[in-house]
Chains A and B, each alone.
Chain A
Amino acid sequence: MKIIFKTLLFAFGLLLVQSCDDELVQKSNDSLSPSDYYTNSSEFEFATRGIYSAFLGGSYYGGSLLSLPDIMTDNVILAQRGRRSNQSFHEWRHSPNLSWGMLYSPYIVTNRANLVLNNIGNLEDGAEKNNFIGEARAARALALFDMVRVYSKIPTQNGADTSLGLPIITGIDPNVRNLRPNVADSYEFIKNELVDAKALINEDNGVARLNKEVVSALLSRVYLYMGEYQNAVDAANDVTTPISTFSEVGQVWKDASEAGVIFKIDQDRNLDGISIGTEWSQSTANNEVVPEYVVSFELNNLYQNTDARRNAYIANLPDQDGMVYNAIFKMYGETGQQNGVIDPKIIRSAEVALNKAEAHYFLGQEAQALAALDELRENRYSDYTPGTETGNDLIAAIQLERRLELFAEGHRLFDLKRWNLGVSRSATDGEFIDGTGTPVPANFLNLSAGSHLFQMPIPQSEINVFPEFQQNPGYN
């Protein structure tokens, strides 16, 4: 009897063991192993779209990169009744522990691009493959460019070339720990990647993707930053997208028109819902705003009444107590919306014209510079008459138009930086519509040209995990 028991029990035990052992391997129901992916063109298509979605990170084109470069300058002023978001940047109190964490998202872009490039051998040679390579390489070039303009000097600054750039990552090891190369090497990589991508990429992938037009436009900006003016002009000349017209300006900022937009991240208002406009304000249905920052009174007065941008970029909106502001209207929302969900524009033909004008100017070609500037101005002013500026007046006009055109698109800080200018704010103007209100505190009126504060500190969290990683000068 006992033997039967033991046998039965043993059999019983074995059965359970057998049946349950298989259950110890469980696979995810919503994700694959990366090693099983990147096998055909539709998977590369999805993976490439994944690269673009990484641009929408909140510290990147999903927010900070479009707002902080203006918040840190003379373009805006803090609204006292707001939530004081980003006040420490407005007041140049940033430090390694209180930094702009913009390394994460661009390196995610880089990683997604590198995964595509690492597996691209799975596709057959041809235009389709070349286009994927071109998009991935241009994306990682843009990502590195955005990081180096935030954390490093710009080549046109004194001593920039040998100062600290940022690591160039082309592999897929998540444990990689590269030290910082210099700025010259970083820009060399950016330039070469874009030049190579331009040869590989499709003529047209739509405005929501990188293509030859976008790469040319980006090159005009990169060359301008590098001080390679002839190359900047040449790249700009390859751009064919016309500048948005006077009547189209407002439509572009309601996402009702793509006129003059060369590259943007196309997001769905409901499905993606990245609210880039909340960097500036939140608002109620009856257009009362809770403003964070408003247009500085000085800049507000620079917009002529005949300027199409006056009403497209600025709106006189009250808060709930009836205090009225020169509120930033550029990212207010699509037509009829006030939720701040707008496609982030990464480069537009207006900028390319300004890049070209500036490059010509520095090449001493004032006539071409004026022509490029007028190309923009005739589409902005209802009372446009051809300009007559020369010399210092001409560069001042180009710089003014750049400030007016690219307001709240994340340019001002970098432009001042590469022009070797400081920031200078009004000591008397407040935040309300008539310039009354609370002025910027006295400590935060002037940031001298060349200050180390123009280069964001490497976040302490990066140094903590990689102590050899070099901090920017001035932050230790």
Chain B
Amino acid sequence: MKTKFSVILILFMVLVVQISFAQNKNVSGTVVDDMSIPLPGATIIIKGSSTGTTTDFDGNFTIEASADDKLLISFVGFTTQEITVGNSSSFQIQMKVDNSLDEVVVVAFGSKKRDELTSAVSVVSGEDLAKLSPTTSVDNMLQGIAPGVQVVAGNGKPGQTAFVRIRGVGSINASSAPLYIIDGLIAPNLNSVNPIDIESISVLKDAATASIYGARAANGVVIITTKAGLKNKGATITLSSRVGTGQMIKNNFRMMNATQKIQYERELAALGVSNALSTPGASISTQAEYDRLLGRETDWMDTLLQESTVQSNSLSIAGGSDDLSYFMSLGHDRNTGIIKDISGFERMNARLNVSYQAKKWLEVQTNFSITSTTSDEPRDRNNVQNPFRAMYDYNPYETKYEVDDDNNILYDEFGQPLWNLTGNGYSISEAIVNNPEDTYTTTILGGITAKAKITEGLTNTFKIGATNVRFRRENYMKPNSVLQGYVGDADNPGSKTDNGSMSLNYVITNLLSYNKVFGEKHDVTLTGLFEFNKNTSRSYSLSSIGFSNPDFSVQSVAALPDATSTSLFENTVLGYGAFLDYNYDGRYLFTASARRDMSSVFGENNRSGIFTSASAAWNITKEDWWNFDLVNDLKIRASAGSSGNRNGIGSYASLATLGFGSLNGQSTAIPSDNGNVDLGFEKNFIFDIGAEFTLFDRKLRGVVDYYERTTSDLLLNAPLPSQGGEPDGSIFSNIGEMVNRGVEIELSWDAISTKDLRLTLGGNIAFVDNEVTKLVPSVNNPNGDDIIRSNNIITVGEEINTFYLPRWGGVNPANGEPLFYDSDGNITNVYDSDANVVMSGKSPIADFDGGLNLYLYYKGFDIATDFYFKSGNYVLNYMESNMLSDGQNVNDNQRVDAFNYWKNPGDTNVLPSPLYGNEAQQNSDRFLQKGDYIRLRNLTVGYNLPVSAIDNFGFSTVRIFVQGQNLWTYAPYFNGDPEVGIGSGETANSVGFGNYNLYSYPTLRSFSIGVDIKF
């Protein structure tokens, strides 16, 4: 392969043509705003190049250009203007207030003006992102900003990435995550880019733009473009610094204190609840014992949690000379998180983007970034090893350390306090110290692009890019730890696991593009694409037992290595494409594309997929006959097209395999899968119609879209009877089909826009309706058999992962007994685990979500707020079920409202009598709650120091601000944090996310102050 590439490069270099260019001259001018006030800092670029400059304090600029050149003049909040240099050498340019349809939008392999777009693309600018917290991953920032892009935070852990779903859920067993492209490179997730480096984010939602990415684009594409410097412009240095603090968002319920818990235990014991009989509260026989327990009052949240410290600092330098422009940045983020005694999350980034005009006809560009993160990982599982479970479970009369009868702390022979193992048999405080787990990730993204103008209109772009992710995890169970006693090897105490992975994903792309304008109005671009992608992923895992000293965790000191493993996976995709763009006078727009992709992961009988699309748009307001002044711009557009999904499918899923294992240390040969030679791409087809408009002097702007997205050939495990001995019990095949339909609306209104006072209100909302239409057919169900994933079901005619549970029938007011519905729908006191029903309309998927935002500017001060809302999703509130356990978990702390149980005949609106705790706590929809909420995600108050005040110090901008995040939440039906993503990190969840809460890292509320300085 290597030698062939060098040959290719040499060939590429041979494609050299000398093209003469016109003579240059100096052009100068002044840029003023709509009120003729000079605009400092406006950008002037020569169209089609990256040569440019900015205006000075008086709005003046000078630039070298030829008569044929066109100048693009832009400034935030104003429409970009284009002027032809011609014979003039001096210009007075008056800017007009922004019109969103002129915005430049980055799309697949290029960019277009908003009014040239024929498909649904949502754009988020770097300025929008700058308003949000820098230590959150970029995907979290997209929440509520782009309609149709549903973002559910994984959890509140610093550095945690989010679940992003564009236009609904697109797969059952493959991945439903979108394709992330950063500067043309495939990125593993969005944690690998520093938010301050981002120039813009484009979300390609329909097939017309996404199908250009072919077999990877079925779940939409998120394209991130990072910042670039401008040619012929002195260095701009930007410093950003912020510091803040965070804590868990407030619960909308209360846990019992010691007095209450003791009373609860005594009440239940008096009732005769067997679990309660031996509780400490129930065992009290004297006042002294009671006082002793009360004296141990411990607030476990205070004991285990802290206020987090958040710091973020970054520095960037951008600029350029005659033929070179650059952008470089460094960033450092730290977030301790809220767990005491661990150091949380740290991230360092560096980036270098350079563009060099090597020849008049050849531009070479490189983008390079490196991101390194370190994270202390608390256990995220549903047991006593998880601090977020412990803080609710540990009783308020239990102490962190062992105490004697006088409540004095007990010490071991070394003077260390003895850990109290609590009623759970475990000390989480001890585990945090003695069972540390850390992860380290380094992500390198790098690419080189060479763009050659071969002749007028013919451009060849060649690109090689690679993404390298190195992940390392260390998990140490110290030899003296409590956990060692439970799970360790007594002869060889202590255990250490080092595991990790290294992945390399490289892409070679060649684009040959021809553009010509026929008869002045017919603008045609034809592009050919070749792309090759290879993904290599290696992993290792090593563990040893027998550590003599708790301070040393390297495995060289271990007595006995007990497990090692490495793996290697490789897969490839090869694609060809042809794309056509046609634009008639800016009024009629048309695109078409076709792409063929082949991937090694699919069966030899079904290796390739062809993906096509077409779209059209009509800029009605550009027609000569249009004379309705109320409507300034109106474009209607329609698109349809297909794309594929191969994400999340194992490299060798189609092959019949026989693997190797061991038994008693000796090799075994074990058939591992029978494979499927017909395995192919999941196919996605989207039809979209939309309208974009501006009204009332462009004060009101909006976009409306309706789409239908059909995903077919969904990969499903068609289960086989056990008798065939299929190793994994099923055959992975292209069977299912699913439809997502939706409406997206986005509006923005400049309520006030004067020089000193500006008020903009905006909002968006996206409705989505998912329906499964086909599953694995069987004799009984020709449309397909249900797939049951514990409490959720995938069944034809319903939303994917609709809840599937026996129904709770309330509490019998006569005796406090729990009631259920039987399979015939009758109320009964006999629980039947087989009486599950499909809870139509109740699934973890929201019916709609969206955002509301407000921006107010007054004389240098600005206030920005963002709200996010979501409705219609359901969550199984397992945490509530544990905290209101009807006496089942009386050994653990309970919520205060657990007292509200049935006591007397006629009691209503009560919990069941604890005498029936076992019956009441059986699996049902009792704790299935609607997850609706609205949250104030962000409130920022900032002040830009006046130019007069900072000019003397050489600064061009100084901005100070205070910011609060997740300050307020309203969840009418849900007890606890309604933003449920990862239910429990270490518990397998085939549904994916959002179906239950189970003590994952809570969402944080944070405050920070910051300063941004430019000079």
The residue that B833 contacts in the complex, of A98, A461, A462, A466, with Cβ under 8 A, is A98
Q: Check A467–B725 contact: CB distance below 8 A.
A: no
Q: Check B600–A23 contact: CB distance below 8 A.
A: yes
The residue that B530 contacts in the complex, of A16, A173, A268, A269, with Cβ under 8 A, is A16
Contacts of A25 in B (CB 8 A): 600
Q: Does A392 contact B (CB under 8 A)?
A: no
**Count of inter-chain pairs, beta carbons less than 8 A:** 238
Q: Bound state CA distance, A13 and B598, in angstroms?
A: 16
Least CB separation from B492: chain A residue: A270
Q: Given A26-B572, A34-B657, A49-B663 in contact, is the A97-B11 Cβ separation under 8 Å?
A: no
Q: Does B664 contact A (CB under 8 A)?
A: yes
Q: Given A464-B778, A465-B785 in contact, is the A108-B727 Cβ separation under 8 Å?
A: yes
Q: Check A272–B489 contact: CB distance below 8 A.
A: no
Q: Check A33–B532 contact: CB distance below 8 A.
A: no
Q: Bound state CA distance, A208 and B560, in angstroms?
A: 24
Contacts of A3 in B (CB 8 A): none
Q: Given A19-B4, A34-B657, A336-B490 in contact, is the A13-B569 Cβ separation under 8 Å?
A: no
Q: Does B648 contact A (CB under 8 A)?
A: no
Q: Check B661–A50 contact: CB distance below 8 A.
A: yes
Q: Which of B368-376, B480-488, B700-708 contacts A (4 or more CB under 8 A)?
A: B480-488
Q: Given A46-B667, A97-B834 in contact, is the A271-B8 Cβ separation under 8 Å?
A: no
Contacts of B778 in A (CB 8 A): 464-465, 467
Q: Bound state CA distance, A174 and B454, in angstroms?
A: 58
Least CB separation from B787: chain A residue: A464
- Among residues 328 to 353 in chain A, which have CB atoms less than 8 Å away from a CB atom of chain B? 333, 336-339
Q: Check B8–A15 contact: CB distance below 8 A.
A: yes
Q: Bound state CA distance, A333 and B485, in angstroms?
A: 13
The residue that B487 contacts in the complex, of A20, A43, A339, A461, with Cβ under 8 A, is A339
Q: Does B12 contact A (CB under 8 A)?
A: yes
Q: Does A313 contact B (CB under 8 A)?
A: no
- Among residues 482 to 518 in chain B, which have CB atoms less than 8 Å away from a CB atom of chain A? 482, 484-491, 508, 510, 512
Distance between B157 CB and nearest chain A CB, rounded to angstroms? 27
Q: Does B779 contact A (CB under 8 A)?
A: yes
The residue that A46 contacts in the complex, of B421, B460, B668, with Cβ under 8 A, is B668
Q: Check B651–A28 contact: CB distance below 8 A.
A: yes
Contacts of B667 in A (CB 8 A): 46, 49
Q: Bound state CA distance, A185 and B423, in angstroms?
A: 54
Q: Given A24-B572, A80-B275 in contact, is the A175-B720 Cβ separation under 8 Å?
A: yes
Least CB separation from A18: chain B residue: B4
Q: Given A23-B534, A24-B600, A50-B669 in contact, is the A174-B726 Cβ separation under 8 Å?
A: yes
Contacts of A52 in B (CB 8 A): 663, 668
Q: Check A8–B278 contact: CB distance below 8 A.
A: no
Least CB separation from B491: chain A residue: A336
Q: Check B512–A26 contact: CB distance below 8 A.
A: no
Distance between B241 CB and nearest chain A CB, rounded to angstroms? 47
Q: Which of B190-198, B670-678, B903-911, B929-937 contacts A (4 or more CB under 8 A)?
A: B670-678
The residue that A23 contacts in the complex, of B15, B17, B574, B833, with Cβ under 8 A, is B574
Q: Given A49-B667, A285-B485, A320-B425 in contact, is the A31-B672 Cβ separation under 8 Å?
A: yes
The residue that B656 contacts in the complex, of A33, A176, A337, with Cβ under 8 A, is A33
- Among residues 560 to 606 in chain B, which have CB atoms less than 8 Å away from a CB atom of chain A? 560, 562-563, 567-572, 574, 598-601
Q: Bound state CA distance, A16 and B425, in angstroms?
A: 63
Q: Bound state CA distance, A285 and B569, in angstroms?
A: 40
Q: Does A303 contact B (CB under 8 A)?
A: no
Contacts of B671 in A (CB 8 A): 34, 50, 111-112, 115
Chain A 256-274, CB-CB to B under 8 Å as 1, else 0, gives 0000000001111111100
Q: Bound state CA distance, A111 and B421, in angstroms?
A: 47
Q: Does A442 contact B (CB under 8 A)?
A: no
Chain A 274-293, CB-CB to B under 8 Å as 1, else 0, gives 00000000111110101000
Distance between A63 CB and nearest chain B CB, rounded to angstroms? 16
How many B residues touch A, CB cutoff 8 Å?
Answer: 88
Contacts of B572 in A (CB 8 A): 20, 23-24, 26
Q: Does B1 contact A (CB under 8 A)?
A: yes
Q: Check A286–B485 contact: CB distance below 8 A.
A: yes
Q: Check A95–B568 contact: CB distance below 8 A.
A: no
Q: Check A34–B656 contact: CB distance below 8 A.
A: yes
Q: Bound state CA distance, A129 and B652, in angstroms?
A: 33
Contacts of B12 in A (CB 8 A): 12
Most A Cβ at <10 Å: residue of B508, B598, B667, B723: B723
Q: Given A16-B532, A28-B655 in contact, is the A49-B666 Cβ separation under 8 Å?
A: yes
The residue that B723 contacts in the complex, of A23, A50, A176, with Cβ under 8 A, is A176
Least CB separation from B274: chain A residue: A438
Q: Bound state CA distance, A18 and B5, in angstroms?
A: 12
Q: Does A11 contact B (CB under 8 A)?
A: yes
Q: Check B665–A104 contact: CB distance below 8 A.
A: no
The residue that A24 contacts in the complex, of B574, B674, B780, with Cβ under 8 A, is B574
The residue that B724 contacts in the complex, of A17, A35, A111, A461, with Cβ under 8 A, is A111
Q: Bound state CA distance, A438 and B275, in angstroms?
A: 10
Q: Check A285–B490 contact: CB distance below 8 A.
A: yes
Q: Check A339–B651 contact: CB distance below 8 A.
A: no
- Among residues 360 to 377 in chain A, which have CB atoms less than 8 Å away from a CB atom of chain B? none
Q: Bound state CA distance, A469 and B719, in angstroms?
A: 14
Contacts of B569 in A (CB 8 A): 29
The residue that A462 contacts in the complex, of B657, B658, B674, B721, with Cβ under 8 A, is B721
Chain A 99-116, CB-CB to B under 8 Å as 1, else 0, gives 000011001101110110
Q: Bound state CA distance, A177 and B600, in angstroms?
A: 32
Q: Does B729 contact A (CB under 8 A)?
A: yes
Q: Check A112–B4 contact: CB distance below 8 A.
A: no
- Among residues 403 to 427 in chain A, which have CB atoms less than 8 Å away from a CB atom of chain B? none
Contacts of A56 in B (CB 8 A): 663
Q: Bound state CA distance, A28 and B571, in angstroms?
A: 10
Q: Does B926 contact A (CB under 8 A)?
A: no
Least CB separation from B508: chain A residue: A16
Q: Check B600–A268 contact: CB distance below 8 A.
A: no
Q: Bound state CA distance, A30 and B569, in angstroms?
A: 9
The residue that B563 contacts in the complex, of A271, A323, A467, with Cβ under 8 A, is A271
Q: Bound state CA distance, A15 and B14, in angstroms?
A: 15
Q: Bound state CA distance, A98 and B663, in angstroms?
A: 31
Distance between B1015 CB and nearest chain A CB, rounded to angstroms? 47
Q: Check A282–B486 contact: CB distance below 8 A.
A: yes
Q: Check B656–A35 contact: CB distance below 8 A.
A: yes
Contacts of B657 in A (CB 8 A): 28, 31-34
Most B Cβ at <10 Å: residue of A5, A25, A30, A178: A30
Q: Does A9 contact B (CB under 8 A)?
A: yes
Q: Does A399 contact B (CB under 8 A)?
A: no
Q: Does A21 contact B (CB under 8 A)?
A: yes
Contacts of B278 in A (CB 8 A): 321, 323
Contacts of A9 in B (CB 8 A): 15, 460, 512
Chain B 1-24, CB-CB to A under 8 Å as 1, else 0, gives 100110110011011010000000
Q: Does B659 contact A (CB under 8 A)?
A: yes
Q: Check A26–B425 contact: CB distance below 8 A.
A: no
Q: Check B8–A173 contact: CB distance below 8 A.
A: no
Q: Check B567–A29 contact: CB distance below 8 A.
A: yes
Q: Check A5–B490 contact: CB distance below 8 A.
A: no
Q: Does A47 contact B (CB under 8 A)?
A: yes
Q: Bound state CA distance, A225 and B660, in angstroms?
A: 36
Q: Check B7–A467 contact: CB distance below 8 A.
A: no
Q: Check A27–B652 contact: CB distance below 8 A.
A: yes
Q: Does A165 contact B (CB under 8 A)?
A: no
Q: Check A15–B719 contact: CB distance below 8 A.
A: no
26 A-B pairs in the complex with CB atoms less than 8 angstroms apart: A8-B11, A16-B8, A17-B530, A19-B1, A20-B532, A24-B598, A24-B607, A29-B568, A29-B570, A33-B656, A46-B667, A47-B669, A49-B666, A80-B274, A104-B722, A107-B724, A108-B725, A112-B671, A166-B723, A169-B725, A177-B721, A270-B560, A290-B425, A321-B278, A321-B423, A464-B786
Shortest Cβ-Cβ A-B pairs, 4 listed: A111-B725, A285-B485, A31-B657, A46-B669
In the complex, besides A15-B4, A270-B560, 8 extra interface pairs with C-beta distance below 8 angstroms are A24-B598, A47-B668, A49-B667, A104-B722, A169-B725, A176-B724, A267-B664, A271-B563
